[in-house]
Amino acid sequence: MATASEVEGGVRNTSPGVRSFLRRNLGPDTDGYLFVLPSIVMVLCLIVYPFGLAVYFSMSDAFIGEPMEFIGLENFVYIFEEDDIFLLVIRNTILFAVISVVCKVVLGLLCALLLQRITHLKRFLRGAMLLPFVAPTALTTLGWWLILDPTYSHINWILQNTFPFTLFEIRDYQFLGEPTLALGSVIFVNIWRGLPFFIITILAGLMSIPDHLYEAADIDGASTWQKFWKITLPLLKPVLAIIILFSTIFTLADFNIVYVLTRGGPMNETHLFATYSFTLGILNHEVGLGAAISLFLFPMMVLFVIFLLRMVRRDSAYEL
């Protein structure tokens, strides 16, 4: 068993000068630093180094298998001035993220409020609700790919062969072939997949709101709407801000759904930053351009994260 003097920090074998320097700068217990060291090394190797490399690639004419040269901001100028697909990518990504996140918030809130009121089969329903979220994305998206198949869409079959749709002579919809429908399809699948995360998290937030607030509101004669706007929503704001933050990050970086469903088509109309960056950087070998496109998202994300975190901090000071 180590003695008290032995365990006093991780500095006992160091010289007095070094010991006092470490204590002054790191505190009395240096063991903690040793324990977090593997994590720091991993972050440096897996996040900082690739990020730095991506910055370097984005300012080079890197091409797979070829020597590269530093070209400054030429890639960024190219994607803005000459690459018209990139402008489509910006439009698609904004539409994809905004529509998806807004729908997930609204539907998530609605479903969570309904789930909260259910008394029978509660556990089963909550578990079942999570299925789209826990199943592997590539697998479930393949299922949607078959449902939305250009030639034999199940949805088209239902629309053309079942009552009452048969009354309207509905045409074949090209869910993955017509640009607007294709973008709508990938947004729909993203909402379908991400909704359970919102429902479960909002439900947890709803359950943490003390009942006595509603009881007090009832005594004051508040209506259901008033209780929702004055109690439920304000107290859910921090939870909503965090899930919106996470969901926006994941949605902006989404790759699987678009890659499996449309591979960015038709005519590049459904490319997002991640898929277009992969297409240019890996499939087309233009690593420099691919890196420039993927980095474009970074400053936008930083601003968005700062904005939301400030909002969360402000709301955490909310006084009852």
Residues 6+ apart with CB under 8 A from 299: none
Residues 6+ apart with CB under 8 A from 319: none
- Check residue 146 for interaction with other proteins (CB under 8 A): no
Cis bond upstream, residue 164 (ω within 30): yes
- Check residue 31 for interaction with other proteins (CB under 8 A): yes
The rounded distance, in Å, linking the Cα atoms of 281 and 63 is: 8
What burial class does residue 35 get, using C-beta atoms within 10 Å of its C-beta: 0-12 exposed, 13-18 middle, 19+ buried? exposed
CA 31 to chain CA mean position, Å: 35
The structure tokens listed for 25 are 């700068």
- Check residue 23 for interaction with other proteins (CB under 8 A): no
What are φ and ψ of residue 32, in 5° steps?
-55, -40
Of 265, 300, 301, 304, the one binding other proteins (CB under 8 A) is 265
The structure tokens listed for 114 are 């309904």
Region of 124-132, 204-212, 263-271, 299-307 interacting with other proteins (CB under 8 A): 263-271
Q: Which is nearer to other proteins, 23 or 285 (CB)?
A: 285
Crossing angle of the two packed helices 287-316 and 233-252, in degrees rounded to 10: 170
Site string for other proteins, 98-137 (x = CB under 8 A): ----------------------------------------
Of 95, 105, 129, 150, the one binding other proteins (CB under 8 A) is 150
Size of the site for other proteins (CB under 8 A): 38
Please report how close the Cβ of residue 168 comes to other proteins at its closest, in angstroms: 19
Of 20, 21, 34, 166, the one binding other proteins (CB under 8 A) is 34
Which residue, among 91, 29, 247, has the nearest Cα to 19 in the 3D structure?
Answer: 29
Region of 46-54, 128-136, 249-257, 278-286 interacting with other proteins (CB under 8 A): 278-286
Site string for other proteins, 159-178 (x = CB under 8 A): -------------x-x-xxx
Which residues are near other proteins by CB under 8 A?
1-2, 4, 6-7, 29, 31, 34-35, 38, 41, 61, 63-65, 82, 149-152, 172, 174, 176-178, 182, 262-268, 282-285, 287
